[in-house]
Amino acid sequence: MKAPKRLQTLIEEGLIDSVVRQLMSGKEAKVYVVRCGDDARCAKVYKDATERSFRQAVDYTENRKVKNTRQARAMAKGTRYGREAQEAAWQSAEVDALYRLAAAGVRVPRPYNFLDGVLLMELVADAHGDAAPRLNDVQFTPEEARVHHATLLVEVVRMLCAGVVHGDLSEFNILLAADGPVIIDLPQAVDAAGNNHAQRMLLRDVANLRGFFGRFAPELLLTEYGPEIWDLYERGLLQPEVALSGRFEAKRGTVDVGDVLRVIDDARAEEAARLMRLAQPS
């Protein structure tokens, strides 16, 4: 196919040889299959902020690092320069997270390069060498659901041990590769220690996994892995090889009504996003 304008620079720089086809168009980017020598890879072209349906909510961008105080002031004031800096930080967040998580052994696509708002990375493939499907497009037996759920819990733990919470993890941004699930779409990833909303996001990520795989293995709906994982993390006991039980008894105390309302709002927003994703063509 004819190379989109945003990919011309990568062709001119010799980073890719040709564009094979568009793989998908999501809420924040379009993804293309490209050729790099004998290899097939992915090129993720980020949409401009005005074209995205996903907004940079303050919960995600809290405490993100910027180059200097001038950028921080401009971003706070919402100037044109500030908006450009915020957009650059939003895009580089996924790049930084991918390199960080890949180094920690987390199952994410291997990043290769990032240039002019385009992320060049590994093409996650199925057993036939084709682009791997999203979990949402696959039916599982109860045993398969239990195995993949356990695999992904290990990845969530590894991510948290590396200091990262995905923040938007669900069946829509996990691919089923030939050797198991691979986590994708990380521009909203947050720093576990530096973001006050990290706990809520981690619990929501794990609850999303429970809800999805619980459709195939209903006993998973009774588990409490999220609170267990976060409790171990807070107490400094979380390790990548930790054995989880799926049981957790919350300490009794004063209920934070504001936090409960935020959880309800998150659930509503997640359901709205899920319906929007279902409406989008694959």
How confident is the model at residue 13, as a pLDDT?
93
Assess whether 259 carries a catalytic annotation.
Answer: no
How confident is the model at residue 200, as a pLDDT?
95
Q: How far apart are CA 39 and CA 19, in angstroms?
A: 12
Distances (CA, A) of 272 to 169, 252, 269: 15, 32, 5
How confident is the model at residue 56, as a pLDDT?
45
Residue 83 burial class via C-beta count within 10 angstroms: exposed 0-12, middle 13-18, buried 19 and up: middle
Q: What's the whole-model pTM score?
A: 0.79
How confident is the model at residue 249, as a pLDDT?
85
Distances (CA, A) of 169 to 100, 120, 223: 17, 21, 18
Enter the DSSP assignment of 134: B
Q: How many domains in the chain?
A: 1
Q: How far apart are CA 242 and CA 252, in angstroms?
A: 25
How confident is the model at residue 175, as a pLDDT?
98
Assess whether 168 carries a catalytic annotation.
Answer: yes
pLDDT tens, residue by residue, 149-195: 999 999 999 999 999 999 999 999 999 999 999 999 998 899 999 89
How confident is the model at residue 219, as a pLDDT?
98
Q: What is the 3-state secondary structure (H, E, C) of 40-61?
A: EEEEEEECCHHHCCCCCCHHHH
Q: Residue 40 is part of which domain span?
A: 5-279
- CATH number at 172 reads 1.10.510
Question: For residue 30, what is the enclosing H or E element?
Answer: strand 29-36
**Can you list the residues of the chain whose pLDDT is less than 70?**
49-90, 252-282
Q: Of 185, 191, 265, 266, which is the active-site residue?
A: 185
Q: How far apart are CA 182 and CA 104, in angstroms?
A: 14
Do 46 and 118 form a contact (C-beta atoms < 8 A)?
Answer: yes
How confident is the model at residue 116, as a pLDDT?
87
Q: Of 38, 39, 168, 205, which is the active-site residue?
A: 168
